[in-house]
Amino acid sequence: MSVDPYWLYPTQSNTTPVNILSSMGTNNANFYDLYGTGNGGYADPTNYLTPVGAFAASPGPYGTYDMGGDVWQWSEADIASSSRGLRGGSWGYGPFNNNLAASNRGSINPTYEGLDIGFRVASSEAVPEPGSITLVVFGGLCLLAYAWRKRTRMA
């Protein structure tokens, strides 16, 4: 049985990521580089956000991209009675104070709206969605079963 290693950052590294947007390289993430370790500013100074997978060779260990930076991601964690959890840092915060580290979490009132807070919409090819024909057939079978059950109760 193999055990996946644990890394400090979601780019499969224990070294602080850099924010250089390139088609080559590793350990890159979208964040504001306050200290000038990479770009010395925003990875994309025009749009701030980047398309999924824009940073070369930086998928997480489970094949998900850009889990560090871009936007803080809401989590189900109930931090306090009026706060929900945030993870992953954002384009507005660099790796200082470990904002991009896996161990870091933030919290905020769930009614707050901000340009650097969002959620991830994901899909899995391992669990395909049922097609429309499958849904029609399943629905028809359910109706037949209901009608048969209702008929046998009346008899």
CA distance 55 to 69: 11
Can you give the pLDDT at residue 124? 58
Residue range 81-90, pLDDT digits in tens: 788 888 887 8
The structural domains of the chain, with segments of one domain joined by +, span 1-127
* pTM (two decimals): 0.62
* Separation between Cα atoms, residue 117 and residue 37, nearest integer Å: 24
| Tokens 């994901």, residue located | 122
CB 100 within 8 A of CB 68: yes
Segment 26-38 shows an average pLDDT of 76
Which two structure tokens, joined as six digits, stand for 106?
């933030």
Burial of 117 (0-12, 13-18, 19+ CB in 10 A): middle
Arithmetic mean of pLDDT over the chain: 78
Could you give the maximum distance between any two Cα atoms of the chain, in Å? Answer: 81
Q: What's the pLDDT tens digit per position in 54-101?
A: 877 667 777 777 777 788 888 877 777 788 888 887 877 766 667 888
